[in-house]
Amino acid sequence: MNHRRTPVALTLPIAVVLGLTACSGGQPSTDTATAPAPDATGATAEGTAGAPAEGDGQLTLYSGRNEELVQPILDRFTEETGIEVDVRYGDTAGMAAQLLEEGDRSPAEVFLAQDAGALGAVSQAGLLEALPQETVDAVPESYRSTDGDWVGLTGRSRVLVYNPDQVSEDELPQSVDELVSEEWRGRVGVAPTNASFQSFITAMRVMEGDEAARAWLADLAANDPQIREKNGHIVADVDSGDIDAGLVNHYYVHELAQEKGVDPEDLSVRMHFFGAQDTGALVNVSGAGLVGDQPDGDAQALIDYLLSEEGQAYFVEETNEYAMIEGAEAPQGVPSLDELEAPKVDLNDLDDLEQTIEMITQAGLL
Amino acid sequence: MALVATAVALIPLGYLLLRTGQQGLPAWLDTVFTWRSGRLAATSVALAAVVTAASLVIGVAGAWLVTRTAVPHRRLLAVLLALPLAVPSYVAAFTWVSVADLWNGAPGGRFEGFTAACVVLTLYTYPYVFLPVASALSRVDAGQEEAARSLGRGPFSTLMTVTLAQVRPAIVGGGLLASLYVLSDFGAVSILRLDTYTRAIYTAHTVGFNRDQALSLATLLVLLTGLILWGEGATRRAGTRYASTRPGRPAAVADLGAWRWPAATGLWAVVLVALGVPAVSLVRWTVAGTSLADAWGRIGEAAAGSLTLSLLGACVTMVLALPIGILVARHHGRLTRFVERAVYLAHGLPGIVVALALVFFGVTVVLPLYQTSWLVALAYATLFLPLGVAAVLGAAAQAPPSLEEVGQSLGATPAEVFRRVTVSLTLPGIGAGAALVFLAAMKELPATLLLRPTGMETLATRLWSATGVGRYAEAAPYALLLVLLAAVPTWVIVQRSGIVRPAPSGATPAEDGMLLAPAPAAPLMVDSVSGEVGNLGAVTGTTTLRRPAEDVQS
Amino acid sequence: MSRPRLAVDLAGVAKSYGSRPVLQDVGLQLEQGGFLAVLGPSGCGKTTLLRCIAGFERIDGGRIALGNRAVALPGTHVPAHRRHVAVVPQDGALFPHLSVAGNVGFGLARTQRRGDARIEECLALVDLAGLGDRMPHELSGGQQQRVALARALAPRPRLVLLDEPFGALDASLRVELRRDIRAALHEDGATAILVTHDQDEALSMADRVVVLREGRVRQDAVPSTVYAQPADSWVASFVGDADLLPFTGADPAGRVRTAVGPVEVRSGGPGATHLVLRPEQVRIDPAGTGTGEGPVATVRDVEFYGHDTLTALALPDGTVIRSRSLAAPASVGDRVRVRVVGPVWAVPDGGHAR
C-alpha cells in the first residue's frame, strides 16, 4: 500500500493523552500514594543495627508466610510500638526470587520466610544485614544463620501422619528408610514440590551423603508413593483414609483441625515422631532477616518482638509450631522441642537446594 | 508510538536475553538441551495440540450450532457457552479435582495427569475459539453459500468448503490464542500434576530459587511460540480471502430436524460440565468448613483491588494497543508484520517470567513506579497486548481512512477528527477489547502477586493465599466473586459479538450503513491482519476489510 | 473586477509512488464558481490528482494554489483541514454515528452545528429538507450521496471535490442526481472539480473538461470542443464513439479520399494522421437509392438502443465503421450506401483508448 499520510500519525500522541486522562479520570485513586516509594525510608543516617536511629514509625515486610497467621501478630506489634508495617504477602520462594531480582534496590526491610533455605539463598546473595548479637543469641545455634544474618522464629518437626484404622502402632517405622520397603508400597503420601520435603531430602544428603539420598529417592519412587501437591492434602487424605500414611510437618494436623472446626484429638489422623536422630525427625525453622541497609531500628524492633515471649507464644498457640526462645511453652499435643530427638544438622548446610531438586527430578518425583 | 508500545511487549524477551546472555551459551545449552527438557517440551506441545484441536471442535461446532441452526434455546446457549471464559484455570482445576474426589474413593485413582489436563483445559479454553467464530459466522454472507448450493454442493459440503472457509481467519486466530494459553498455563497443570514445560519453569524458579535455570527454560518457550506464530502466519498467506463489502442478507438458519435434540444435548452437556463442576465445588467448600472469615470487609477490599488493577490494566493495554493496531491496520510491510507478531511473544510466556522481567524493569528503569498499580498495569499490558491489538484491528475497520479524510477536508483538525470521528467509531470495538483484557487481568495471578503494591490484595491473591493453607471454605467466596465479576465483561463481549442479537443496529451502524452505501468497485480483501482479527476483532464484532492497493490512485 | 478570479491554479504538478510516476506536469486553472471535470480511465492518476488538491497527498513537484494562496509546493504542504477544500468521496463516506444533520453540520463551527439555518439550507439544496434526523443507514444510496454533497457545501468551502460520486448508482438515478447536484452546486455558487471515468458524466455536468491519460493532461477544453475537436486519436476514441480512419494528404480544398468516399477535413494543427468519424456523421441509405459518391457497405451488426440504433458496416476494403440513426434502417446482411455528413475532424495519432 502506498504511504498515504493519514492523520493517524498526528493523532496518536493525542490518543495516548486521551487514553491516559480517561484512565486516571475513571480510576479510583491508584496506589502511588500509599505504596511506599522505595526510597521513602531513605533517611541518610545509616542506622547500624546496634544503635538504631530515630525510627520513622514505618517498615516494609516481605512475608513468605500466610497473612492469616502473620497479620494478627503484626497488628499487636503496631499497637505496642506504634510502628506501622506494610506487608507484602507471597509465597516464600517467590519472595526470595523477587528479593534476588530487586537486589539492593529492594523496598523490603524484613524478610519473613517459611524455611531456612530461602533465607539462605537471599543471604548468599549478600542481601541480608547482620543482626545484633543479642538477637542472634536468643536462638539456639542450630536454628540460626552462622553468619548471624537470619534467625529462626519457629520450629517445625517432620512427622509421619497415619490413620490408625489402616496402620497399627507396632507397624510404625523407626526410620524413614523403612518407608521405601515393600510393606509400605502404595501407602505413603509425599509432597515433592513442597519446600519441607526438599529440605528433608537436603538434610538426608548432608547426613548420609548424596548416594544414600539418591538411592532412597529411587526406592521411594519405585514404591508407588502417593504424590500430593501440598502437605495439607496429605493430612486430609490420611484423615479420610484415602491413604494410610504420609510425610509432612507436624503442624498440618493442627491446621486441618482448625479448617474442620474440631479438636485435633477428634480427627482420625495421628502423628508419629521419628526418634534417634533419624532424618525423619528433622526440625526445620521459619525465620526472618533484615534486608539491605537499615534506615532505622524499626525492622530490628519487629524481629525482636517476634522473638519476645509474647510473639513466640502467639506462634505456639496459633500454629502449633515450636518456639525458639528458651523457657517457652511447647505446642499442644506434641512432645516438647527438647524431647524431640532431632538429628544434629546445621540448617545453614541445607542451602544446596538446586542439587536436591535435580535428584528429586531424576527420581521422577517432580 | 507504536514502536514504544511494541517495546513494552518485548520487555520480557529482552530480559530473557539479558539473563541468559549473562550465563553464556554453554550454560544455556546445558540447561535447555537435556532429555528432561525435551520430554517436557514434548508434553507441552502434545497438550497444546490436543487441547487446541478439541477446542476447535467444540468451539466451531458450538458456534455453528448457535448461530446458524435452529438448535433450541440458541441465544441462551450462546451466552452460556462463552461463560467458561470467566473461570480461571486454577479455580477450574481445583474444583474438578475436588468434585472428582467425590466419586473416587479408591486410593491412587486421583483425577490428574494428561487426560485430566486435556479435559479441564479444553473446557475453559474453547471460548477463545467459540467467540470469534460465532461472531464471524453470524455475519457470513448468504450469497456465497447459495451460490455453492446452486452449483450442486450438498449442505455439509457447503458448510465445510464455503461457510467455514469464510470464517477461517477467526478459526485460526482463535486456535492460536487457545494454543498459547495452554502453553503458558501453570495453574491447571500444576494442580492436575501434569509435568509440562511451564510447570518446570515454575518449579525451577520457586522451589529451587533457580532463576537462571527457569529463564533458560523460558527461552525455549519463546522459540516454541515463535514457531506457532510462524505456522499461523503460513496458513494465513496460503489462505488470503476475498469478501464482498456488502454483508448482504444474513444467511438462513438451518433446520436440524431430528438432530436438533442431540445437538442441544451436547451443548448443554458442555455448559453444565464446565460451569456446574466449579459451582458444585464452591458450594461444597462454603458449607463444609468453618474458616469462612469475618470477611465481608476483606472481600470488598479484594474486589476493589481486583477492579482497580484490572481496570487500570485494561486502560494501559488499550492505550498501547491503539497505535499498534492502527499502524498494523493502515500500513502493510515488513515492520508491521514484525510488530504484529512481536506482541504475541510475551503472550506465550508463563506469568512468572513476565513478572520477573517487570520486577527487573521496575527496579532498574522506572523505580518510582515499582510496586505501584502502574507497573502491574504495565505487566498486564505486556501479557495481554495481543487481545487489545486484535480488538483495535477490528475496530479500525469501522473507521476507514476515507472517513477521517472527509473530516479533515471539512476543516476539522487531525485532533478534532480523531475525537469526533475515529474515537466515536472505534470505541465500541475497543471497549470490547478492553473488556477482554479486563477479564484476563482479573484472572491473572503470578504477575499480580509479584508486582502489586505492598498491602494491596485482589480476589486472585486472596484466593491463592486461602487455598495455600487449605482454607477452602474461606477461598470459596473469593472464587465465586471472581467468577461472577469476570462474567460481566464476558457478557459485554458476547453482546458486542453480535451473536446474541443478530443485527445490533445501534452498535454497528457502519455495517448497516454499508448495506446501502455504494461499494467501491474493487473487491475488499480480508488479508493477513484478519487472522489476528479472528482472535478478537471478530469477537468485538468486526472483520478487517482492506482494499487492495490499486484503488488508491485511479 | 473584469475577469473572474482564479479559484484553482495548478502548474507542473508531479507525483510518483516510488519510481512510478503517477502525475506528470499537470496544470489546470478553474475560475471562481466554475465546474470542471477531470476525465480519464482507471489508473490515469485522476484520484491521485484529487487527493493532492485536497491535501491528502504531498506533491513532488509543481505548485497548487487555491484562491491566491499557494497550498502546495515541494517542501510546503498546507494540511487538508486548512485548505477549505471539501470532498465528496466515491462511497459518500457519511459518518455512520452521526445523523444527517450531524453529518451536514460537521464542518460548521461548534455554535452553528445545532439547529443552524445553514444545515437546513444545504439539505434543501439537495432536496432532502426535513430528513435531518435520519441516520445514514436509513437512507438510500442516492440520498446518501446527496447528504455527502450537502455536508461538503455547508461550510462554504473554496472548492468542492467530487470523486466519482455516482459510480455505484443505477443509471436512472444517476441522471437525476447529476442534474440535481449540478443545480445545487450552481445555486450555492460553489466551485467544483469532478473526477470521473464516465464521459457522459463529464460532458453533461462540467463547464470544462480536462482529459487525463497516464498522469498527463491530454486536453483541456469545454465539453463540446473535447467531443468535436479531440486533441488526438486517443482522446477521440475515449470520449464518445469514434472510428479512426488513417489518411494521407488532402487536396487544396481540404478534401481527402477515403474508404467512405471523399470527405471534408478540418484540423487544429499539423501532423494529423487520422480522421475521427463519429457514428452520427455516417448516414446510410438502401443500396440502389440515392446518388452519393459513397461506397456500398454490408451491414454486419445492429445494436438497437430504443432512442437510436448503432449499425456496424463493413466497407468494401474491409474497414468497419459505425452509423447512428434514429430508427433501425437495415438488417444484418443488407447492402447499404454510405455517406458522411459535414466536415470530419482530423487528429494526430495518440493510440486507441478502446
Q: Which pLDDT value is given to residue A39?
A: 41
How many other C-beta atoms are found inside a 10 Å radius of the C-beta of residue B419?
Answer: 17
Instruction: Give chains near B: 3+ CB pairs under 8 A.
Output: A, C
- Which cell is B132 given? 470469534
Q: Which of A5-19, A314-328, B31-45, C15-29 has the lowest mean pLDDT?
A: A5-19
User: d(Cα B135, Cα C63) in Å, to the nearest integer?
Assistant: 49
Listed residue (C284, C287, C281) closest to C266, CA to CA:
C281
Which residue of chain C has the CA closest to A10?
C79
Q: Which pLDDT value is given to residue C26?
A: 92
Tell me the residue type at A3.
Answer: H
Let me know the angle formed at the C-alpha of B503 by B249 and B166, rounded to the nearest 5 degrees.
50
Mean pLDDT of chain B: 74
Q: How confident is the model at residue B155 (pLDDT cuts 50, 70, 90)?
A: confident
User: d(Cα C345, Cα C333) in Å, to the nearest integer?
Assistant: 30
| Cβ contact B469–A101 (<8 Å) | no
Let me know: does B255 contact B70? Beta carbons within 8 Å.
yes
User: Is residue A37 pLDDT above 50, yes or no?
Assistant: no
User: d(Cα B362, Cα B453) in Å, to the nearest integer?
Assistant: 12
Write out chain C residues lying below 8 Å of B424, CB-based: 95, 97
How many other C-beta atoms are found inside a 10 Å radius of the C-beta of residue B37?
Answer: 17
**ipTM metric:** 0.79
Q: Which pLDDT value is given to residue C53?
A: 92
The one-character DSSP state at A174 is S
| Cβ contact A5–C17 (<8 Å) | no
- Cα distance from B347 to chain A (closest Cα, Å)? 21
Let me know: does C36 contact B546? Beta carbons within 8 Å.
no
* Kind of pairing between the strands at C296-304 and C309-314: antiparallel
Which residue of chain C has the CA closest to B509?
C96
**How far out from the chain centre does Cα B15 lie?**
24
B285-296, pLDDT tens digit by residue?
A: 776 654 455 567
User: Is residue B142 pLDDT above 80, yes or no?
Assistant: no
Tell me the residue type at C55.
Answer: G
User: d(Cα B264, Cα B227) in Å, to the nearest integer?
Assistant: 37
The Cβ-side half-sphere exposure at B198, using a 13 Å CA radius, reads: 30
By CB atoms closer than 10 A (0-12, 13-18, 19+), residue B411 is: buried
Write out chain B residues lying below 8 Å of C96, CB-based: 398, 425, 509-510, 512-513
Percent pLDDT > 90 in chain B is 3
Per-residue pLDDT, averaged over B77-95, amounts to 85
| From A10, A35, A258, residue closest to B291, measured CB to CB | A258
Per-residue pLDDT, averaged over B478-497, amounts to 82
Q: Which pLDDT value is given to residue C250?
A: 64
Listed residue (B188, B184, B186, B172) closest to B84, CA to CA:
B188
Interface of C with B in 191-220 (CB under 8 A): 197
User: d(Cα B391, Cα B538) in Å, to the nearest integer?
Assistant: 8
The CA–CA distances, whole Å, from B389 to B46, B272, B381, B528 equal 28, 32, 10, 14
Q: Can you tell me which residue has the cell 480512419?
A: C245
- Cα distance from C37 to chain A (closest Cα, Å)? 24
Q: Which pLDDT value is given to residue C36?
A: 93
- Which cell is C106 given? 460537521
Q: Does B154 touch chain C (CB under 8 A)?
A: no
Q: Does B34 touch chain C (CB under 8 A)?
A: no
Q: Which of A89, A114, A187, A224 to probe by mutation at the B interface, max B CB count within 10 Å?
A: A89
| Cβ contact A93–B423 (<8 Å) | no
- Cα distance from C267 to chain B (closest Cα, Å)? 31
Let me know: does B69 contact B61? Beta carbons within 8 Å.
no
Radius of gyration of chain A (CA): 24
Q: How confident is the model at residue C49 (pLDDT cuts 50, 70, 90)?
A: very high
- Cα distance from A134 to chain B (closest Cα, Å)? 30
Q: How confident is the model at residue B237 (pLDDT cuts 50, 70, 90)?
A: low
Strand-pairing partners, residue C17, are C20
| From B1, B423, B471, residue closest to A259, measured CB to CB | B471
A·B CB contacts under 8 A:
221
Which residue of chain A has the CA closest to C20?
A2
User: Is residue B540 pLDDT above 60, yes or no?
Assistant: no
Radius of gyration of chain C (CA): 24
Q: Does A65 touch chain B (CB under 8 A)?
A: no
Let me know: does C173 contact C137? Beta carbons within 8 Å.
no
| Cβ contact A4–C17 (<8 Å) | no
Per-residue pLDDT, averaged over B18-33, amounts to 75
* Kind of pairing between the strands at A188-190 and A226-227: parallel
| From B405, B416, B510, residue closest to C80, measured CB to CB | B405
Q: How confident is the model at residue A317 (pLDDT cuts 50, 70, 90)?
A: confident
The helix-helix angle for B168-184 and B211-238 (nearest 10°) equals 170
Which residue of chain C has the CA closest to B399?
C95
| Cβ contact B517–C91 (<8 Å) | yes
Interface of A with B in 285-344 (CB under 8 A): none
Q: Which of B375, B454, B546 to probe by mutation at the A interface, max A CB count within 10 Å?
A: B454
| Cβ contact B331–A361 (<8 Å) | no
User: Is residue B238 pLDDT above 60, yes or no?
Assistant: no
List, in sequence order, the alpha helices (H) in A57-171: 67-81, 92-102, 116-124, 133-137
Write out chain B residues lying below 8 Å of C167, CB-based: 518, 521
B·C CB contacts under 8 A:
126
B308-363, pLDDT tens digit by residue?
A: 899 999 999 888 888 888 777 777 777 777 777 788 877 778 887 888 888 888 88
Q: Which pLDDT value is given to residue B252?
A: 63
User: d(Cα B346, Cα B335) in Å, to the nearest integer?
Assistant: 18
Write out chain B residues lying below 8 Å of A224, CB-based: 108
Strand-pairing partners, residue C72, are C64, C77
| Cβ contact A2–B553 (<8 Å) | yes
Q: How confident is the model at residue C195 (pLDDT cuts 50, 70, 90)?
A: very high
Per-residue pLDDT, averaged over B178-199, amounts to 82
Write out chain C residues lying below 8 Å of B519, CB-based: 91, 168
User: d(Cα B442, Cα B308) in Å, to the nearest integer?
Assistant: 10
The Cβ-side half-sphere exposure at B548, using a 13 Å CA radius, reads: 12
Listed residue (A64, A93, A356, A32) closest to A203, CA to CA:
A356
By CB atoms closer than 10 A (0-12, 13-18, 19+), residue C279 is: buried
Q: Which helix (H) or strand (E) holds B96?
A: helix B89-103
| From A19, A103, A366, residue closest to B318, measured CB to CB | A19
C283-327, pLDDT tens digit by residue?
A: 888 776 666 667 888 899 988 888 888 999 998 888 889 999 887
Q: Does C56 touch chain A (CB under 8 A)?
A: yes
- Which cell is C173 given? 438515478
Q: How confident is the model at residue C164 (pLDDT cuts 50, 70, 90)?
A: confident
Let me know: does A287 contact A151? Beta carbons within 8 Å.
yes
Interface of A with C in 4-23 (CB under 8 A): 4-5
B406-454, pLDDT tens digit by residue?
A: 888 888 888 888 888 887 887 777 887 888 888 888 888 888 888 888 8
